[in-house]
Structure 1
C-alpha cells in the first residue's frame, strides 16, 4: 500500500503544521458533511434564512459576503508568484490554477450571480478563513517538493486538463443558474425554478460535480498529501451539499422529476 501511494504522491513534508492540518481538515469537513445531510446547512445561498433569525455577530449583504469568501484566497494565490518565485513547472501550474479558480469565483460574484438577502458575519468569516488557509497550505506544501524526485506516476498535465474541464463546466452551469433567478417586480421576493439545460436534466448539482473535478485537478497537479486530503474533504462536503440541495428542491416543487439525481448521473 505504501509503495503504491509513493508512486503518485510526494513524501510527507517535514512540517508538523501541514500534517496536523491535513488531519484537522478531514475531520472538520466530515463534520460539515454530517451537518449538511442532517439539515444543519451553512447559511448561504438558498439555505440562508438570515433575515428571519437574530444573528449574534450581525450580517452583511450576500454579494459582499461572497466577495469576502474568495478575495483573500485569490490574493494568496496571486501573491505566491512573487513570494515563492520558482521555475518549477508543477508549481507554476498550481499557482496559475488556484489564481484562475478564485478569479473566476470573484468574476461570477460581480457579473453573473444574482443575490438577495444577507449572510451572517460568522459564517462569512468561517468560510473565508477556510478558503484562505487551504489555499496557503496547498502552496506551502508544494514548496517542500521543490528539488525532490518526481513521483513515478506524473499526473500534472492530466490534472491541469481536469481542472480546465471542471472550471469551464462549473462556469457554464453557474450561468444557467443565474438566468433562472429573478426578482418579482415590485415584490422583492425570491423566485426559484427547477434548473434546466446542460446536465441539469440528470443531476440537480452539476456545478458541484465540476467543482469536484477542479479540486481533484489541484491534487493531480500538486500530488501532495495535503492536496489529496483537501480533494477528499471537498468531495465529501459537496456530496452532502448536493444531497441537501436535492432534498430542498423536492420539498419546494411537487413536479420535481425523481429521475434527476443529486450529483452523479443515474447513481446518486
Structure 2
C-alpha cells in the first residue's frame, strides 16, 4: 500500500515538474516572439562573449606549440571545476580542428550577407519585410536611412579589406583553430550583417544631413582600418616566429586587435539611434570581439615570452596600453 502511494506521489511530482518546465518554455518562447530582432542579436552576442569555456578553445596556431604550465594557465583548475568526465569530453571536442586559413570564410560570408541584405532592402524582399516589421513594432528609437547606409558600407568595406589581406598575405601553414571558434566567427559576421541596419527607420525612409556622430565615427574607422592594415602587412612580412618591429608593437602585443575593437566602436557611433550615444546592438558585438581577442592576446603575450625567453615582453600590454 505504501509502495503504491509512493509511486503515485513520485509520478505526481514528475508530472508537476514537467508541467512547470513546459510553462517556463512557453513563457520564454512568448518573450522571444515579442522581442525585437535587435534585442535577440544583443542576447546572442552577450551570451557568446560570456561563455565560461572560452579559454579552453580559443588558442590556435603557434600558441598551441608551447602550452602554459598547468599552474600558470589555470587549465587544470578549470577542468576540476567542470568535472573529470565532462572535462575529458570537452578536451575531445576541443581537439576538433580546422585549417587556420578558414578565417577567409568569415569575410566571404560577411560580404555575401551584406549583398543579400542590400538586395532585400532595395527590393523590399520578404526576409527584410519580416525583420523590419518585427523591429519597428518592438522599439521606439531608430537611426536614419543615411546612417544605415553608411554603417552598411563601413561593414562591407571592413569585410572586403580583411578578405583582400588574407588572400594577399596568404602563406602555406599547418596551423589550426578549433571548429567551434570557426563556427562562432561565422555566426558573428552573419549577425553583424543584420546589426548594422536593423535599428534604422526603414518604415519611414528619410535621409538626414551628416551628424556629429558621423564626423566622430568615420575618422575613427578610417584611422583604425589604416593602422590594422599596416600592422597586418608588417606581420605578413616577418620571418616566421620572430618578434614584430613595427612601432605599434612598442607598448602593446596585439595592436591589430585593439584596432579591430575601434572599428566596431566607430560603427556603434555612426549607427547610434536618435537620442543615443551608441548603437547598443553593435556594442554587444564589440563585447564579443573584445573579450575573445583579449583572451587570444593574453595567450600571444605568454607565447612570445616563452618562445624568446624575454621577461620584458610581459611588461607590455596585451591589447590596451596601460590597461590590459
Residues 37 and 198, structure 2, Cα contact 8 Å, conserved in 1: no
Stretches (4+) displaced over 6 A: 53-58
Matched, 1:205 2:254: yes
Contact preservation (8 Å) 1:173, 1:198: no
Report the Cα distance in structure 2 between the residues aligned to 1:143 and 1:244, rounded to whole angstroms: 42
Shift of the 175–226 alpha-carbon distance from structure 1 to 2, 3 Å rule, reads same
What is the TM-score when the length of structure 2 is the normalising length?
A: 0.63
Structure 2 distance, partners of 1:41, 1:146, is 44
Task: Tell me the secondary structure at the aligned position of residue 203 of structure 1.
Answer: coil
The equivalences for 1:101-250 within 5 A come to 101-117=158-174, 118-142=176-200, 147=205, 154-181=212-239, 191-223=240-272, 224-250=279-305
- Conserved? CA contact 1:204–1:261, under 8 Å: yes
CA shift for structure 1 position 232:
3.1
The answer for the alignment partner of 1:252 in structure 2 is 307
Give unmatched runs, 5+ long, in structure 2.
1-33, 66-90, 124-143, 273-278
What are the Cα deviations for residues 195-228 of structure 1, in whole angstroms up to 9, with x where unaligned? 1112111111010111111010110111132112
Aligned residues: 236
Root mean square deviation of aligned Cα: 3.1
TM-score, normalising length: structure 1: 0.75
Please tell me whether the aligned partners of residues 252 and 317 of structure 2 are also in contact (alpha carbons under 8 angstroms).
yes
Structure 1 Cα separation of the partners of residues 323 and 203 of structure 2 = 38
Unpaired runs of 5+ in structure 1?
1-13, 182-190
- Structure number with the bigger relative contact order (C-alpha 8 A, sep ≥ 6) is 1
Report how far residue 120 of structure 1 moved. 4.8
Which residue pairs with 2:117 in the alignment? 80
How much has 1:124 moved relative to structure 2?
2.3
Q: CA deviation at 1:102?
A: 0.4
| 1:205–1:263 Cα contact (<8 Å) kept | yes
Relative to 1, partners in 2 of residues 1:154 and 1:80: Cα closer, same or farther, differing over 3 Å? Answer: farther
Alignment partner for residue 319 of structure 2, among 245, 263, 266? 263
Match of 2:44 in 1: 24
The Cα shift of 1:56 comes to: 8.6
What's the offset of the Cα at 1:233? 3.1
Greater share of helix: 2
